[in-house]
Chain A
Amino acid sequence: MHPAPSIILFTTLSGLGFGLLIWLGVDPTPPTGWVAFAFYAIAYALALSGLAASSFHLGRRDRALKAFRQWRTSWLSREAWLAALALGVSGLHALGLLFGIALLPLGWLSAALSLATVAATAMIYAQLRTVPRWYHWSTPILFIALSLSGGALLSGRVEIASGLLLLTGALQFWVWYDGDRRFARSGTTLASATGLGEQGVPRALFPPHTGSNYLLDEMVYVVARRHALKLRSIALVMMVLLPVLLLQLPMPHLFGLLALACHLAGVLTARWLFFAEAEHVVGLYYGKR
């Protein structure tokens, strides 16, 4: 799939923002006053800039609000609702904290909604049977794990963040290993795509058009996959290993910030791979993956 910057930024930034909202929501002794303001400002900035970035992927941004209409069937619509609700409830909770009032159940609700938002974001991709690499239970789990680790890192929970980062790294490693085998497991081949398997072994002879088209640009992204192994290594080091090491150092504010910067760069790389490495079955018709 085409790794559009708009969606990479959307999933990465909003994942971090809602991750922070989850930890702020479940905190039994939440920050109050200006400290609360600072934390919530960061969470809102991340979540909102992510959501704003997602609108740049639309062909008709002027109609974006219509995306709220089909929450009964569409994960994209559910994601829009959950994001709005999570931000709304978190805002109420934050308002209380600013004045020193901690309504813990409201915080729990905001955390649950934020978690559901991240899950819904992942389900937009995990629901697509046409992309076998994504069509798997591990897709939402990985999104949630990344969001929780990033949120823990942002909220300064050193031990929890270290543990979660290592777990997420292991999960990401396995997702790459298993993901490489999912297309073959899906059973979709040029033979099933054309129904010509009965006759013999089909092979794409020549394409239906000499130029490119929307389908090839959007779903048959083959550039730079040859660097996948290097990029995976970079992603894992930046996303997990370096932040965990930095977190063990003294001066948590300085090295914490560095850990966060590394983590963000790592997640962006991993998210780029999430899209760039995903093969859509339509590529079979063009003899490409």
Chain B
Amino acid sequence: MTALPERTERRLGLVIDLDTCVGCHACVVACKGWNDQGYGAPLSDQDPQGAAPQGTFLNRVHSYEVLPESGPAQHVHFPKSCLHCDDAPCVTVCPTGASYKRVEDGIVLVEEEACIGCGLCAWACPYGARELDLAAGVMKKCTLCVDRIYNEALPEKDRVPACVRTCPAEARHFGDLADPESDVSQLVAARGGIDLMPEQGTKPVNKYLPPRPRDGWGEDTDVLAPFLEPVAEEPQGFLGWLDRTLGKL
């Protein structure tokens, strides 16, 4: 049934720290690595060794430059995967019921056996979180590693999404955003976590922590400046003569 649940018992999701992400794409690789061998159709690649390779990914890292009113531009790495929205438009548009949001933990999933590959859910998602697998003909999306987080065959520290487990900068955090006491909720409160495209009315569960303001380039910090003063303001010797002569012409 593609009606959205009134409310979900938990709201599992990610908190992504744009301040600490270094843009290494390890989460992209870990995501692809885990999700092409377990849950659902493997993430196919098209023409992988050819001239125009492309493939299905559930997580991608964009890069932006932010130019403040004054001061130097800042470079922000921006990982993006499904935000497991409370009002997920991808779920209600689905004609078959393949797209659904789980009541128990709020994860948005695709039942691949019921997916007809019409692509309407990908059109309805403002974030580009869904990609049609061109080999399997069904829609793929982040499962929040539903086959890891409840998997008792794994050591407890591995029961988090692959992207979170692998992130060397610890820029990705996983938890229950419905519980105000959870680590992720505390982090969102402390750092002023934000929603992406709030005007789209999707009420995303995943939150983004904005980059902290950078240190300035004020006089105090510029300890090397005195040593870098120009030695000679006016050219001397031959160059000086040339400068004076050319100036007279």
Contact = CB atoms under 8 A, between A and B. Distances in A.
A211 B112 CA distance: 26
A75 B60 CA distance: 30
A72 B93 CA distance: 10
Interface in A103-139: 124, 127-131
A213 B123 CA distance: 14
A178 interface: no
Interface in A37-83: 57-61, 63-64, 66-70, 72-77, 80
Given A59-B119, A76-B118, A199-B211, A215 B197 contact: no
B34 interface: no
A68 to B, nearest CB: 8
B134 interface: yes
Contact of A70 (B64, B73, B97, B128): B97
Interface string A174-208: 00000000000011101011111011111111111
A213 B131 contact: yes
A219 interface: yes
Contacts of B122: 214-215, 218-219
Contacts of A61: 116
B116 A59 contact: yes
Contacts, number: 204
A285 interface: yes
A208 B27 CA distance: 12
A218 B93 CA distance: 17
Contacts of B62: 204, 207-208, 285-286
B27 to A, nearest CB: 11
Nearest to B132: A214
Contacts of A213: 54-57, 131
Interface string B1-43: 1110000000000000010000001001000000000000000
Nearest to B194: A195
Contacts of B208: 195
Contacts of B96: 63, 66-67, 69-70, 77
A19 B196 CA distance: 41
A73 B114 CA distance: 16
A70 B1 contact: yes
B60 A59 contact: no
Interface residues of A, number: 59
Given A64-B116, A200-B67, A203-B67, A195 B210 contact: yes
A74 B94 contact: yes
Contact of B92 (A60, A74, A186, A211): A74
A42 to B, nearest CB: 28
A58 B117 CA distance: 5
B203 interface: no
Given A60-B117, A215-B128, A206 B63 contact: yes
A281 interface: yes
B138 A60 contact: yes
A89 interface: no
Contacts of B93: 73-76, 127-128
B123 A280 contact: yes
B40 to A, nearest CB: 13
Interface in B188-243: 194-201, 208, 210-211, 213
Most buried by A among B55, B66, B139, B213: B66
B123 A131 contact: yes
4 tightest A-B CB contacts, nearest first: A59-B117, A59-B137, A200-B68, A282-B128
29 contacts: A1-B123, A58-B118, A59-B115, A59-B116, A60-B138, A67-B118, A70-B94, A70-B96, A72-B1, A72-B3, A73-B3, A127-B93, A128-B89, A130-B125, A130-B126, A188-B197, A190-B64, A192-B198, A194-B78, A199-B68, A199-B211, A200-B68, A200-B73, A205-B75, A208-B80, A209-B54, A281-B197, A282-B126, A282-B128
Interface of B: 1-3, 18, 25, 28, 52-57, 60-69, 73-76, 78, 80, 89, 92-98, 114-120, 122-128, 131-134, 136-139, 194-201, 208, 210-211, 213
Interface of A: 1, 57-61, 63-64, 66-70, 72-77, 80, 124, 127-131, 186-188, 190, 192-196, 198-209, 211-215, 218-219, 280-282, 285-286
Given A64-B116, A188-B200, A219-B122, 16 more contacts: A59-B134, A72-B2, A73-B3, A186-B199, A196-B211, A199-B74, A200-B73, A206-B63, A207-B63, A211-B53, A213-B131, A214-B122, A218-B122, A219-B128, A281-B126, A285-B127
